[in-house]
Amino acid sequence: MSWPESVRARLALWHGLALLVVVSLYAAAVLLQVRDDMYESLDGQLLGDYALAVQWLRQDLAAAAAASPAPADQVLARRGRDLAVWVDAWTPDGRRVFDRGREPELPAPPGLPATWPRRFAGLRLPDGDHVRMLVRPVEVGGQRLYVRVGRSERFARRELQEFAAVLGLSLPFAFAVAVAAGYVLARRALAPVESMTARARRITADRLGERLPAGNPSDEFGQLAGVINDALSRLERAFDTLRRFTADAAHELRTPLTAIRSVGEVGLRGPRSEADYRELVGSILEETERLTTMADSLLLLSQADSGAADLHPARFALAELAREVASDLEVLAEEKGQTVRVDAGTGAEVVADRPTLRQAVLNLLDNAIKYSQEGADIRLAARASDGAAILEVVDNGPGIAPEHLPHIFERFYRADRARSRASGGAGLGLAIAQWAVEANGGRLEVESQPGRGSLFRIVLPGGPAEFINQHARSTS
Ligand code: ADP
């Protein structure tokens, strides 16, 4: 028989088997107890029989001596020649000198009477009947005799057999009832699982808003449903984010593509001077550059999401990084007549992946230059503070309105869509900067007041290299 697949059937079978074992053990114990009780009462009767037998024996022998009719016969007759009893008496050399009771005569156990068991013992007759017997020595008229009394176990055995049959027959019945009851119970108990399964089947990528029925939230199934529902909520949010990300990415890619196409169309419309063509090709290259930057950013973010970014932490000074980035972007600042100042003392050292951190600082400084007005002052400051290494990018540009602040690190988010697009941002710079800082075990903070400027602060764990290494490992 193969074990059933369904949990319900398995539970019902286990229930039935467990009950069968318990009931069998119980029945066996009861049967043993009843058997003991029966033998105990049989043995009690045998003791009574023995006392009577000794009495008859004395009277019988006395009567024989007086040559009068045997009173033992009368005694036996008084007991109605009870067919369940044997009485006989033996001399030590094995002669039977007294024999009364039931037919057929009780065979003698092997050996001399002195060696026969003194305890109550069983004897099997040739006709199949079982006899319980008791042998004890007695002194009668100065002579030693062994008196044996016996009783048939037939009635006791029959009763025991009937009782065992009743118990035996009720076992399959108890098993069947237990399996049926177990099945009903399991069905009821597992009902929530069925409704959860039915509901879960309906949940697809398009219907992630569906939730499993929780039933009683504090029982095991309710808790399971709760955990799965939480996972579904997270999955739904992740899907939403992914969908938005894909839509936004497609949208952002379209803009430069449309620009390239229209520039191309304009170029084909009629003959133009070489200078015009140069200008058109220049704009096409500019848009292509923008597309490339965006594709690079998307690639970087997808690597960041999948955890595939390869980081190689090394020790370096933040001040040095600040100076390098400032000099890289100096040209852009100069174009707008802005000044970029680097305030960097020594001591702010970090163990981090330099290229990713450089990317973060680049994006922050690029934003400061991009969004600040002509002639603005921009400052990069590196310092060590309370075991942390800090790098700030401060500008006195337009600042960010409080309603935009919580969103500026989101992908494709731009506070001022029209202005940002004109200046070339796709809304990915801060998302990348934040990832880069966090991947190195730090955090990126922002403080900004509209009209007064913005401050972006990179906070990284500083201090001894072992500490930084440990921190970077635990946060990566
Ligand atoms: P973008 O590619 O548009 O620059 P970012 O993710 O770098 O995208 O920035 C998100 C938005 O935050 C920007 O569109 C801009 O509105 C705002 N922002 C970022 N840095 C500054 C800053 N230094 N001054 C003012 N606004 C800023």
CATH number, domain with residue 298: 1.10.287.130
Position 447, amino acid: E
In 3D, which of 137, 140, 139 has the Cα closest to residue 148? 137
Of all protein residues, the one whose alpha carbon is nearest to atom 12 of ligand 1 is 408
Residue 188 counted as domain residue:
no
pLDDT of residue 430: 95
Note whether 71 and 153 are same-domain residues: yes
pLDDT of residue 4: 76
Residue 86 counted as domain residue:
yes
| 431 contacts 409 by C-beta, under 8 angstroms | yes
Query: In which domain, by residue range, is 296 found?
Result: 220-303
Position 259, amino acid: A
Note whether 145 and 293 are same-domain residues: no
Count of helix runs (H) and strand runs (E) in the chain: 11, 12
Q: Is the CB of 453 under 6 A from ligand 1?
A: no
Q: Is the CB of 416 under 6 A from ligand 1?
A: yes
Confidence at 310, pLDDT banded by 50, 70, 90: confident
366 CA distance to ligand 1 middle (Å): 9
Residue 423 has pLDDT above 90, yes or no: no
Residue 111 has pLDDT above 70, yes or no: yes
26 CA distance to ligand 1 middle (Å): 81
Q: Is the CB of 392 under 6 A from ligand 1?
A: no
Residue 203 counted as domain residue:
no
> Which atom of ligand 1 lies nearest, measured to the CA of 428?
6
Residue 360 has pLDDT above 70, yes or no: yes
Note whether 132 and 67 are same-domain residues: yes
Note whether 321 and 431 are same-domain residues: yes
The CATH number of whichever domain residue 390 belongs to comes to: 3.30.565.10
What's the rounded Cα separation, in Å, for the pair 374 and 42? 121
Note whether 253 and 354 are same-domain residues: no
Q: What is the mean pLDDT of residues 91-115?
A: 81
Confidence at 392, pLDDT banded by 50, 70, 90: very high
pLDDT of residue 437: 96
Q: Is the CB of 178 under 6 A from ligand 1?
A: no
Of all protein residues, the one whose alpha carbon is nearest to atom 21 of ligand 1 is 367
Among 268, 303, 338, give the residue marking a domain's end: 303
List CB contacts of 153: < 8 A, sequence separation 6 or more. 42, 122, 129, 130, 131, 132
Residue 461 counted as domain residue:
yes
Note whether 14 and 50 are same-domain residues: yes
- pLDDT tens for 251-292 read 888 888 999 999 999 999 988 899 999 999 999 999 999 899
Residue 289 counted as domain residue:
yes
Q: Is the CB of 150 under 6 A from ligand 1?
A: no
Q: Is the dihedral of CA 294, 297, 303, 307 positive or negative?
A: negative
Q: Lowest-confidence range among 81-95, 119-133, 180-194, 390-404?
A: 81-95
Q: Lowest-confidence range among 149-153, 191-195, 254-258, 413-417?
A: 413-417
Q: Is the CB of 408 under 6 A from ligand 1?
A: yes
Residue 65 has pLDDT above 70, yes or no: no
pLDDT of residue 142: 82
| 36 contacts 161 by C-beta, under 8 angstroms | no
Q: What is the mean pLDDT of residues 159-185?
A: 91
pLDDT of residue 84: 67
Residue 195 counted as domain residue:
no
Residue 209 phi, psi dihedral angles, 5° rounding: -80, -15
Residue 33 counted as domain residue:
yes
HSE-CB of 431 using CA atoms within 13 angstroms: 20
Of all protein residues, the one whose alpha carbon is nearest to atom 2 of ligand 1 is 425
Q: What is the mean pLDDT of residues 89-114?
A: 81
Confidence at 408, pLDDT banded by 50, 70, 90: very high
Both tokens of residue 138? 């007695």
In 3D, which of 112, 118, 78, 73 has the Cα closest to residue 94? 112
Q: Lowest-confidence range among 40-54, 74-88, 349-363, 388-402?
A: 74-88
Confidence at 300, pLDDT banded by 50, 70, 90: confident
Residue 468's CB is within 10 A of a number of other CB atoms, namely 23
Note whether 294 and 316 are same-domain residues: no
Of all protein residues, the one whose alpha carbon is nearest to atom 22 of ligand 1 is 368
Q: Is the CB of 367 under 6 A from ligand 1?
A: yes
Q: What is the SS3 assignment for 40?
A: helix
Note whether 409 and 274 are same-domain residues: no
pLDDT of residue 424: 59
Q: What is the mean pLDDT of residues 390-405?
A: 94
Confidence at 417, pLDDT banded by 50, 70, 90: low
**Beta partners for residue 342, in sequence order:** 380
Q: Is the CB of 395 under 6 A from ligand 1?
A: yes
Which residue, chain included where needed, has tokens 């118990």? 167
Residue 125 has pLDDT above 60, yes or no: yes
Residue 421 has pLDDT above 50, yes or no: yes
Residue 466 has pLDDT above 50, yes or no: no
Residue 173 counted as domain residue:
no
Q: Is the CB of 427 under 6 A from ligand 1?
A: yes
Q: What spatial distance separates the first Cα and last Cα of the chain, rounded to whole Å? A: 53
Confidence at 177, pLDDT banded by 50, 70, 90: very high
Q: What is the mean pLDDT of residues 15-23?
A: 92
376 CA distance to ligand 1 middle (Å): 16
Q: Lowest-confidence range among 114-128, 395-409, 462-476?
A: 462-476
Residue 391 has pLDDT above 80, yes or no: yes
Which residue, chain included where needed, has tokens 């379209």? 254
What is 126-160 written as a DSSP string? TTS-EEEEEEEEEEETTEEEEEEEEEE-HHHHHHH
Note whether 365 and 282 are same-domain residues: no
Among 126, 150, 166, give the residue marking a domain's end: 166
List CB contacts of 318: < 8 A, sequence separation 6 or more. 344, 348, 349, 350, 382, 389, 390, 391, 460
Among 282, 303, 324, give the residue marking a domain's end: 303
pLDDT of residue 60: 74
Report how many domains make up the chain: 3
| Burial class of residue 259 in the structure, from the number of CB atoms within 10 Å of its CB (0-12 exposed, 13-18 middle, 19+ buried) | middle
Note whether 230 and 317 are same-domain residues: no
Note whether 129 and 46 are same-domain residues: yes
Note whether 13 and 98 are same-domain residues: yes
305 CA distance to ligand 1 middle (Å): 21
